[in-house]
């Protein structure tokens, strides 16, 4: 039984499909719909089945002796369910291979630990997702790794921060909470000649609107919990690698015993099939809401690279084909009780960790506590909003009433 999807779809760069008269490449939305699926291997079933498996039986001693060559040999090392999702995400990210992890935070720590040894130096953008910072401060330093955080706007200036023992540079595009855009091409240009591994946290784009590996980045990490899932009902991390990085990451993850449950892998693959249409709607809704917020008297700043007024807009336009539903904004300094009046009465915006689901979320944030190389000086209360798939007019009405409560 074949365990791989059709080669012209599973490949990160789909081979030409023949229609009898001409050859053409499959479009990205078509790849997302078909990558990782092989109905002919499963009695015509459209979606890859869920394999709950630990022990894999071998019919003969010769087969057992050759199990190291078998694709399926133990549940922890993967099943047709997880292989299908790996292939699909690799096609999405245009990667040589993808390693699945139980969460986005685990994808971060696995990537870092796979590449760094005691005495190595790592550069991490100062606006990264909190767990990435914590892994650097609380785990890597404990193991003797020299951790340095850098200004995400450094661009080609990264050259001055690179040391003889620098092994990895971590980026996030755009950054967490404050959404600055990093000049990824400039950093890759400085890193590649020195053999330094580059990593981008690509969760914000869902892998739909941005393809870091096509720019020479070595690894694209996502919290699949977010947009790949799209339904706020599973935990997942993905590490999509270039040819030179894949075996190292895969081997390290297997040594740590990292694996993903089959039900989560199945749900993630089901969510992946609609990621393109969902992302386009998130973009449309968020852009409309961001423009509305930019004209509110209570709002002093909107942090969304898709806005023409955003400082990172030109960099975003250079590399991205769209924007997601997550962005930040700042409201004028206000008492906590007034802020509570605003957010506690919201009907459609929930308050909770994570984002990327179909539902809208709104949280107050404090970027100051997650900075060390730079200082967040913007006065006022910083907010992070995830714009879901609701009617945007209803979301605007909900926030308008919230601002009225804030004023009262």
pLDDT of residue 280: 98
**Cβ pair 77, 100 in contact under 8 A:** no
Residue 12 predicted with pLDDT over 60:
no
Which residue is catalytic, options 24, 76, 141, 332? 76
Residue 256 predicted with pLDDT over 60:
yes
pLDDT of residue 24: 74
**Cβ pair 236, 222 in contact under 8 A:** no
pLDDT tens-digit profile of 131-177? 999 999 999 999 999 999 999 999 999 999 999 999 999 999 999 99
pLDDT tens-digit profile of 234-250? 999 999 999 999 999 99
Which residue is catalytic, options 201, 218, 264, 310? 201
> Three-class SS string for the chain?
CCCCCCHHHHCCCCCCEECCCCEECCCHHHHHHHCCCCHHHHCCCCCCCCCCCCCCCCCCHHHHHCHHHCCCCCHHHCCHHHHHHHHHHHHHHCCCEEEEECCHHHHHHHHHHHHCCCCCEEEEECCCCHHHHHHHHHHHHHHCCEEEEECCCCHHHHHHCCCCCEEEEEEECCCCCCCCCCCHHHHHHHHHHHCCEEEEECHHHCCCCCCHHHHCCCEEEEECCCCCCCCCCCCCEEEEECHHHHHHHHHHHHHCCCCCCHHHHHHHHHHHCCHHHHHHHHHHHHHHHHHHHHCCCCEEEEECCCCCCCCCHHHHHHHCCCCCCEEEEEECCCCHHHHHHHHHCCCCCECCCCCCCCCCEEEEECHHHHCCCCCCCCCCEEEEEECCCCCHHHHHHHHHHHHHHHHC
Given the structure tokens 């291997």, which residue do they identify?
Answer: 41
pLDDT greater at residue 5 or residue 161: 161
Residue 3 predicted with pLDDT over 80:
no
Which residue is catalytic, options 133, 211, 226, 273? 226
Q: What is the mean pLDDT of the chain?
A: 93
- With cut-offs at 50, 70 and 90, classify the pLDDT of residue 23: low
Give the mean model confidence (pLDDT) for residues 76-89: 96
Which residue is catalytic, options 120, 126, 129, 150? 129
Give the tokens for residue 235: 């935990």
Is 201 an annotated catalytic residue?
Answer: yes
Rg of the chain (C-alpha set) = 22
The mean-pLDDT minimum among 20-34, 174-188, 343-357 falls in 20-34
Is 150 an annotated catalytic residue?
Answer: no
Residue 196 predicted with pLDDT over 60:
yes
- With cut-offs at 50, 70 and 90, classify the pLDDT of residue 68: confident
Phi-psi category of residue 190: left, alpha or beta, with phi > 0 → left and psi -120 to 50 → alpha? alpha
pLDDT of residue 42: 85
- With cut-offs at 50, 70 and 90, classify the pLDDT of residue 38: confident
pLDDT tens-digit profile of 179-189? 999 999 999 99
Give the mean model confidence (pLDDT) for residues 56-74: 92
């Amino acid at each position: 039984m074949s365990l791989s999807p059709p080669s012209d779809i599973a490949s990160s760069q789909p081979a030409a499909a023949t229609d009898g008269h001409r050859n053409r490449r499959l479009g990205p939305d078509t790849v997302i719909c078909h990558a990782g699926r092989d109905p002919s291997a499963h009695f015509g079933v459209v979606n890859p089945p869920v394999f709950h498996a630990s022990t894999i039986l071998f019919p003969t001693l010769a087969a057992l002796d050759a199990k190291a060559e078998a694709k399926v040999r133990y549940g922890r090392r993967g099943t047709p369910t997880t292989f299908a999702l790996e292939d699909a995400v690799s096609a999405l990210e245009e990667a040589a291979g993808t390693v699945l992890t139980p969460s986005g935070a685990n994808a971060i720590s696995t990537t870092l630990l796979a590449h760094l040894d005691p005495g190595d130096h790592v550069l991490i953008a100062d606006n990264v997702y909190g767990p990435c910072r914590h892994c650097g401060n609380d785990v890597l330093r404990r193991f003797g790794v020299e951790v340095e955080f850098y200004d995400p706007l450094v661009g080609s200036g990264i050259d001055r921060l690179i040391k003889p023992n620098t092994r990895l540079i971590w980026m996030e595009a755009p950054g967490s909470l404050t959404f600055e855009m990093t000049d990824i091409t400039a950093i890759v240009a400085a890193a590649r000649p020195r053999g330094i591994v580059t990593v981008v946290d690509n969760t914000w784009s869902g892998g739909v609107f941005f393809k870091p590996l096509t720019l020479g980045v070595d690894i694209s990490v996502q919290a699949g919990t977010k947009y790949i899932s799209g339904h706020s009902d599973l935990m997942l991390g993905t590490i999509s690698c270039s040819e030179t990085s894949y075996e190292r990451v895969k081997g390290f993850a297997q040594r740590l015993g990292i694996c993903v449950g089959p039900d989560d892998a199945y749900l993630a693959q089901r969510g992946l099939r609609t990621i393109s249409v969902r992302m386009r709607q998130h973009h449309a809704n968020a852009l409309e809401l961001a423009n509305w917020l930019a004209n509110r008297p209570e709002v002093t700043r909107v942090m969304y690279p898709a806005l023409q007024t955003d400082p990172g807009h030109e960099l975003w336009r250079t590399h991205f084909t769209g924007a997601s539903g997550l962005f930040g904004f700042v409201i004028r300094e206000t008492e906590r009780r007034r802020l509570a009046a605003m957010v506690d009465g919201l009907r459609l915006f929930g308050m909770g960790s994570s984002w990327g689901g179909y539902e809208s979320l709104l949280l107050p944030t404090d970027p100051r506590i997650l900075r060390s190389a730079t200082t967040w000086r913007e006065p006022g209360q910083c907010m992070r909003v995830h714009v879901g798939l609701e009617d945007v007019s209803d979301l605007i009405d909900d926030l308008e009433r919230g601002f009225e409560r804030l004023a009262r």
